C-alpha cells in the first residue's frame, strides 16, 4: 500500500516538472522581441529562439551541433568530440 502512494507521488512530481518546462518555453515564444535578438534554449542547447516578425521562433540545431552565442546573435557550432587520450600512447 505504501509503495503505491510513493509511485503516485513520483508520477505527480514528474508531470509537474514537465508542465513547468513547457510553460517556460511557451512564455519565451509568446513574448515580443526586438529584431536581431536571439537566445539559446537553456534547457537543452539543441536549439535557439530567433526573433522573426516581432515574435520568438524556435529553431533547432542540426545533429552534432550545439547552440552558442556570439555577442547578441546565436548560432549552431560543431560539438567538439572528446579526444581519446590513450590513442597513440606508447610507453
Q: For the chain, what is the domain count?
A: 1
* pLDDT tens digits along 69-89: 888 788 899 987 766 666 655
Do β-strands 47-52 and 55-60 pair in parallel, antiparallel, or remain unpaired?
antiparallel
Stretch 39-45: mean pLDDT: 86
Residues spanned by the domain of 62: 32-80
C-alpha to C-alpha distance for 4 and 11, rounded to whole angstroms:
11
3-state secondary structure of 13: helix
**Residue pair 76/65 in contact by the 8 Å Cβ criterion:** yes
Residue 26, in any domain of the structure: no
3-state secondary structure of 27: helix
Residue 67, in any domain of the structure: yes
Q: At residue 23, what are phi and psi to the nearest 5 degrees?
A: -65, -35
Residue 19, in any domain of the structure: no
Residue 91, in any domain of the structure: no
Residue 60, in any domain of the structure: yes
Residue 71, in any domain of the structure: yes
**More reliable by pLDDT, 10 or 35:** 35
Amino acid at each position: 500500500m505504501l509503495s503505491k502512494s510513493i509511485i503516485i507521488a513520483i508520477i505527480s512530481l514528474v508531470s509537474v516538472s514537465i508542465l513547468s518546462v513547457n510553460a517556460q518555453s511557451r512564455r519565451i515564444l509568446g513574448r515580443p522581441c526586438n529584431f536581431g535578438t536571439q537566445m539559446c534554449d537553456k534547457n537543452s542547447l539543441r536549439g535557439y529562439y530567433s526573433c522573426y516578425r516581432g515574435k520568438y521562433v524556435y529553431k533547432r540545431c542540426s545533429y552534432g551541433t550545439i547552440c552558442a552565442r556570439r555577442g547578441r546573435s546565436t548560432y549552431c557550432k560543431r560539438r567538439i568530440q572528446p579526444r581519446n587520450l590513450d590513442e597513440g600512447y606508447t610507453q
